[in-house]
Amino acid sequence: MQKITPYLWFDNQAEEAAKLYTSLFDDSKIGSVRRYGDAGPGPKGQVMTLTFQIAGSDFMVLNGGPVFAFTPAVSFFVTCSSEKQIDTLWKKLSEGGKVLMEYGKYPFSEKFGWASDRYGLTWQLTLATGKPTKVTPFFLFVGKQNGKAEEAIAYWGSVLGGSAVQQLVRYEPGQKELEGNVMHARFTLAGQEFMAMDSGQEHAFSFNEAVSLFVDCKTQKEVDELWEKLTDGGQESQCGWLKDRYGVSWQIVPSVLGELLGSKNPAVSQSVMRAMLKMKKLDIKALQAAATSA
| Residues 178-235 pLDDT 10s | 999 999 999 999 999 999 999 999 999 999 999 999 999 999 999 999 999 999 999 9
Task: Report pLDDT for 294.
Answer: 77
H-only helix segments in the chain: 14-24, 83-94, 149-160, 220-231, 255-261, 266-277, 284-293
Kindly tell me if the per-residue pLDDT of 100 is higher than 80. yes
Task: Report pLDDT for 37.
Answer: 72
What pLDDT digit, counting tens, does each position of 168-178 carry? 999 999 888 99
What pLDDT digit, counting tens, does each position of 27-46 carry? 999 999 988 776 566 777 78
What pLDDT digit, counting tens, does each position of 226-252 carry? 999 999 999 999 999 999 999 999 999
The per-residue DSSP string of 236-287 comes to: E-STTEEE-TTS-EEEEEEHHHHHHHT-SSHHHHHHHHHHHHT-SS--HHHH
Taken in order of first residue, the domains within the chain and their CATH numbers are 4-67+209-257 (3.10.180.10), 74-198 (3.30.720.110)
What is the overall mean pLDDT for the chain? Answer: 94
Task: Report pLDDT for 48.
Answer: 85
Q: What phi-psi label fits residue 247: left (phi over 0), alpha (psi between -120 and 50 degrees) or beta?
A: left
- Give percent above pLDDT 90 in the chain: 86
How far apart (Å, rounded) are the C-alpha atoms in residues 255 and 288?
A: 12
The DSSP symbol for 291 reads: H
